[in-house]
Structure 1
Amino acid sequence: MTSSLRKKEARVAWLFITPYLVGFILFHFLPIFLSIVLSLTDMKYISTADQTSFIGLGNYFEMIHDAEFRNAFKNSIIYSVCFVPLVMVVGLFLAVLVNQKIHFRNGIRAMIFMPYVSNMVAIAIVWSLLLDPVDGIVNKTLSALGVSNAPMWLMGSKTALITVVMIAVWREVGLQFVTYLAALQDVPKELKEAAQIDGANRFQLFRFVTFPLLRNTTFLLIITSIITSLKNFTIIQVLTEGGPGNATTVLPLKIVDTAFSSARMGYASAQAMVMFVLVMVITATQWIGKNRSEIY
């Protein structure tokens, strides 16, 4: 291949890549840069930008003493710690189950994946109706079965967050399911047959042959699940609006409330940067841990 032909192909490649790069910079790097700048100011509304003052790290120091922010941060961590293991384990279990030779496998696969591609607002509204403490079908069924003190679900300060987590797991597990299912179908049959010849039972076959080959898939899903859990806004906003008593207020809800209800764009930007750094640190930690445990 001549040098001129390579240069021509490179120009064509850049011609196709440039629109994506421009969009990526405009909608990713530019907002991050602006958030960093705004987090160092006391900006309230965009219309009052000319009255904005530079306050340095003042917003970040304020967060240390902000009880509502600390509560939202704590709820986000609890939500993520509960959501990620549950959605991973349930997704893997369902994938292993459906990967077997069972009847109606295609129908079951579609049923599991359907909530993931359904409208999140509609899902949240349906669940809020089902879990209504007075008129909801869930508590009415429990009462019919003799349960006199049915849970308050989304209305109880002690049950609201875990209820939201369970609904989110039900909605998001479809992604883990189809990803694990695709990975399971790529496991070489020769390895399974060799292990069976050596006397491995089903558990040993999964533990020592199948699961190690799912490591890269598991790593990818852990990262995406953590990011999903930390940025979850819609389903919590529709189900509880952060209540009762801020019991389900997580960082995204707190950021939106600070920016628009309290009209403090600068402080909200600082909160968003803390959330951004949290996601980056967790992702980097997972990446480093994966690379150190890699076996060649």
Structure 2
Amino acid sequence: MKNKNKRYIKTDKAAWFFLLPAAIIYLSVIVIPVFYSFFISLFKWNGIGDKEFVGIQNYTNLFTQDKTFHTAIVNNLIWIVLTIFVTMTISLAFAVILNKQFKGRTFFRGFFYFPCVIAPIAVAIIWRWIFNPNVGFINQFFQAIGVDYSQQWISDPKVSLYAVFVAALWQAIGQPMILFLAGLQAISPDVLEAATIDGANGVKKFFFITVPLLKDTFVIVIATLIVAAMKVYDVVQGLTGGGPNDSTQMLSTYMYSQVFQYNNVGYGTAVACIMVLLMMVVIVPYVSFTAKED
């Protein structure tokens, strides 16, 4: 027994030594920077000179005086809602279609996933040309079919946010589509066949069999989509830079402008800390509730 206990102790020590490199990287890359960022957010600092301690004043100003910050939060919430209902729905629809047996489905899987591997800033450049009011594809298409319609897609504050979302949607559907496709292929055909024998049609099989069996996949997809929606930056910055008139301002773009354009490092870092807090408030309860064992 003593020899067995000694062997267990040696094994535990070896396990800790194997975990040590990963723990060091995790602490140095994630944990320490997070706490240091919160520390910086308590100061008024331009990134070069001396820091002036202001406590929670940066946070107070954000919530009580900063209208741009309020706009950014609302835009992020709109983006999250659109992402969950539009991006997830389209991705699931494509996955269901591409899960069927038909000639060329492998090609179409790669075709619809391809935009996902393009750099977001390249996506922004592509869609800037598509949205161009003079030579852009959309307005030219309307003219070609005889429809007298022309729109300043990314210059009109009323539609710019939704236009940017369409550009992001083109790239965003690939990853959740692959996740849903993997979840669909993990469903046993015997279960669906049994439902068919019991008289269930395609719609009933989808909502009462397929969707419940995709529960774990939905947890992963919704969590990743919400995080991506909270920190969306590249496409917005590349297309509008948060304009016009802050109509497409996001927390990430506002944080960037405060830190790197106006040198308000403490203020911008406070925005970053709020972003992290909001993501934790949304994601942690959601994953804990939906992923728990029945």
TM-score normalised according to structure 2 size: 0.94
**Residue 288 of structure 1: how far off its partner (Å):** 4.5
User: In structure 1, how many angstroms separate the alpha carbons of the residues matched to 2:285 and 2:65?
Assistant: 27
Confirm or deny that 1:222 pairs with 2:211.
no
Residue by residue over 1:238-258, the C-alpha shift from the partner in whole angstroms, topping out at 9 and shown as x without a partner, is: 111111121111000000111
- Tell me what 2:33 maps to: 31
- Tell me what 2:21 maps to: 19
**Matches for 1:246-285 after TM superposition, within 5 Å:** 246-285=246-285
User: In structure 1, how many angstroms separate the alpha carbons of the residues matched to 2:263 and 2:192?
Assistant: 60
**Matches for 1:7-156 after TM superposition, within 5 Å:** 7-45=9-47, 47-48=48-49, 51-63=50-62, 64-156=64-156
SS where residue 14 of structure 1 aligns?
A: helix
User: In structure 2, how many angstroms separate the alpha carbons of the residues matched to 1:102 and 1:157?
Assistant: 43
TM-score normalised according to structure 1 size: 0.93
Name the % identity. Answer: 30
- Tell me what 2:201 maps to: 201
**Residue 10 of structure 1: how far off its partner (Å):** 3.3
Residue by residue over 1:231-273, the C-alpha shift from the partner in whole angstroms, topping out at 9 and shown as x without a partner, is: 0111111111111121111000000111111111111111111
Distance 1:31 1:2, change over 3 A: same
Residue by residue over 1:43-69, the C-alpha shift from the partner in whole angstroms, topping out at 9 and shown as x without a partner, is: 221x21xx2122111111111211111
Residue by residue over 1:4-41, the C-alpha shift from the partner in whole angstroms, topping out at 9 and shown as x without a partner, is: 44344434433332222111111111111011111111
SS where residue 44 of structure 2 aligns?
A: coil
Residue by residue over 1:108-139, the C-alpha shift from the partner in whole angstroms, topping out at 9 and shown as x without a partner, is: 00001111112222121111112111111221
Q: Give the letter aligned to residue 51 of structure 2.
A: T
The runs of 5 or more residues in structure 2 that have no matched partner are none
The runs of 5 or more residues in structure 1 that have no matched partner are none
**Residue 2 of structure 1: how far off its partner (Å):** 3.3
Q: Give the superposed CA RMSD.
A: 1.6
4+ residue segments displaced more than 4 Å: none
Check the 8 A contact 2:154/2:163 in 1, yes or no. Answer: yes
Check the 8 A contact 1:256/1:268 in 2, yes or no. Answer: yes
User: In structure 2, how many angstroms separate the alpha carbons of the residues matched to 1:8 and 1:127?
Assistant: 59
